[in-house]
A = this chain, B = another copy of it.
Amino acid sequence: MNISANQASELSAQQEYPSFEQRHYVEDVSVLFEMVGLPRMAGRIFGWLLISEPPYQSHSELAEVLQASKGSISTMTRLLMQIGLIERFSLPGQRRDYFRIKPDSWSEMMRQRIVQNTAFREIAERGLKLLQDTPAHLHQRLEEMRDIHAFCERELPVLLERWEQERRQPQTNSQVSL
């Protein structure tokens, strides 16, 4: 039986309790998350995973560092995995699971934006159907809404593709070749 690990605290030797600056950082990330409509606790978890050493943290480490209940951590990590920002993995020979920022998480989010964008285009088209027997000037607002979303529906995937490429070969196109 391995009793070398600290039993009093889940925190490993290399990771002290968060410093003042670290706690402040975590809080600020949580505020950003709130701004885009996500729960604060999800932002705290994400914020801590951005700066923690090591870059992966267990369920109970998160609970301790963030002073949150296990239930809350469980719910929020599930949410963060759902929207593709973090991932779960296990280390061989260790029972507990760890979470870390998912490489590529931001592309994932961008893809979800594209899905939302499609929903807006579709509802604009539904609106136009409702107005199909009316004078054309009533259609303008919906046509504009449809057109910009159709535009983004075409262009955002292209942008995403460019990003993926640029990331693989950095420096290659600091001078963009248009």
Whole-angstrom CA separation of A178 from B101 in the bound complex:
35
Measured between beta carbons, the chain B residues less than 8 angstroms from A97 are none
- Chain B minimum-CB-distance residue to A170: B147
**Copies of this chain assembled into the complex:** 2
A141 adjacent to B55 (CB under 8 Å): yes
A9 within 8 Å of B (CB atoms):
no
B53 adjacent to A138 (CB under 8 Å): yes
A62 within 8 Å of B (CB atoms):
no
Binds B, one of A63-71, A73-81, A119-127: A119-127
A130 adjacent to B25 (CB under 8 Å): yes
- Chain B minimum-CB-distance residue to A37: B37
Could you list 10 further interchain pairs (A-B, Cβ under 8 angstroms) beyond the known A32-B123, A36-B116, A50-B145? A35-B119, A49-B141, A50-B141, A51-B127, A51-B130, A51-B131, A100-B141, A106-B145, A107-B148, A155-B159
